[in-house]
Structure 1
């Protein structure tokens, strides 16, 4: 127990001793900002490219999410053919009593041909 306490205190002391070095202003360390043409234009081009790739990736993810999870009655299902629509309408008319069974069967037979 005492060994662990001593180890923790020495780690804390080591951290506290290095804090003044981190608190120096950039003016105290002229190499901090890498003044001059040390780095060249390569880093500016790389940064711009990374920014374009990042935002482009975000936009692509949003577009794909909207397409995938978008709402709509026929989303994700194949469009119905005209024959299926006609049969659906025929069944609805029969269910409402607008046509009788004989007419329903005859029209259904015509649709299936």
Structure 2
């Protein structure tokens, strides 16, 4: 190859391996993006439609809202049903 001044036979072996690795990384990234978890915490989203009361109960149980907010929201939901 070019009178001994070229990159040699090593590149003939390494270049296909590098391309295979690059293609594998691209495929892995695409699959990873497609199969994202349905929520930010990696917990699957509940199936079907959840009632407002169940959502409120879950938020209170997780500590996202305090007892006063929980009572106010529950009273509001109870008043909405009338």
Higher relative contact order (CA 8 A, sep 6+): 2
Normalized per residue, the structure richer in helix is: 1
TM-score (norm 2): 0.42
TM-score (norm 1): 0.32
